[in-house]
Structure 1
Amino acid sequence: MLTKRIIPCLDVDHGRVKKGVNFVNLTDVGDPTEIARAYEAQGADELVFLDITATNEKRKAIVDTIASVASQVFMPLTVGGGVNTVADMQALLKAGADKVALNSAAVANPDLIRQGAEKFGAQCIVVAIDVRYQASQDRYQVVVNGGRKPVDLDALEWAQTAVAAGAGELLVTSMDKDGTKSGFDLPLYQALTQVVDVPIVASGGCGAIADFTNLFEETQVDAGLAASVFHFGELTIPQVKATLKAKGVTVR
């Protein structure tokens, strides 16, 4: 059985870690390098670093901030936000990222996934998908531009397209659940793991240790990502891993 990963996420806005609810009402949490160091000390398996306003503000990800974080921590680092070209990917990987997350730019130009996978290897290319449930069509709809712009795209179909283009991993965030602490969107991840065969990182809604347990017992995802419960000390990574081990879930 593959080891399940526990991944904190740093949503960064102009060099500061922020956290909101349903992608809005952002609160300042702290310095990304300091927070990353603390998570490594706790035993986080990886760290996801998302520049949440880069795409909407039409600017590049903050390479200097990423270089600072990468110089201080040695766990794998996935970086996204404002990645629009192969050159952007190269700059982030050179700064110390292990994987690059593509979101809005990949929806606009799916060939960017192929270009990145061919140059750097599929293991470096993560396609991040922000979704919300669209009741009128009974489907999960893709949303881009930091959760601001819905597009006429079925999330399950887009996941399959992304994997076919070369994505080595998917980071899928439920906008309906984001910041609500009401649990992961289990039906979403159950559906996704039926249609793609790459690792899936589940994001959005974690509020308690039981949410991680439910995620790994009821879906086939490879990793659970959380932000606010870790940022504000409501849960620690050692607590989560100890509980999962006691439930028979394989963790590091």
Structure 2
Amino acid sequence: MSIQVKNLIKTYGSQKALASISFETQSNHIIGFLGPNGAGKSTTMKILSGILPFDQGECLINGINIHLDPIKAKKIIGYLPENNPLYLDMYVQEILTFEANLHGILHPKNRIQEVISLTGLTKEQHKRVNQLSKGYRQRVGLAMAIIHDPRILILDEPTSGLDPNQILEIRALIKELSKNKTVLLSTHIMQEVEILCDEIIILDRGILKDHFLKSNAATKFPNQSMEEIFVQLTHH
């Protein structure tokens, strides 16, 4: 259940958003996908989710080439974009039913209840999305991303804008989900990386600066915090 990226290039006009990046993740890991604003993180995540075309290179999701077989790849990917676009006038159960039907899930009622329970939405399931706090809206976004039980979960800043209690709840949920999934997670919160991640990938201005196991960080960067490592690799 790994993600392989080989010599990935993406340009917007004359600007090179990704300059031939390559990496391969391990299975059932939470991978911290880090970099300053404009580093190319969201671009990479959109490419890996099959939303954005790329210029050159190769992306394999569990060995499936996303360019050659996008439908097959998308079936095993769950994606939560940074701005979590939700239909605000829908009820929680309604939006999950809609998502389940898009994926052609058999017996959707059972799966919807399973996902509602897993994401802690039981008490909120009969509300409209526009009645929910931002923390609960993030849970709805996560519920939609996992409704089809994907092997790979791609989360773009899932705790951005949440209060400390909500952040802890979403982190606990991500940790739970990672038991049988590979999770690619972008964040600017270094504490989150320390707590959650097994692997670290750092991008800067479309260039892959480093990729390492967090367990090797102390040997590779002695006496440095995650914040110090990040600054060292991305400071111009």
Instruction: Report the structure number with the largest CA radius of gyration.
Output: 2
Same fold (TM > 0.5): no
TM-score by length of 2: 0.39
Bigger relative CO (Cα 8 Å, ≥ 6 apart): 2
TM-score by length of 1: 0.37
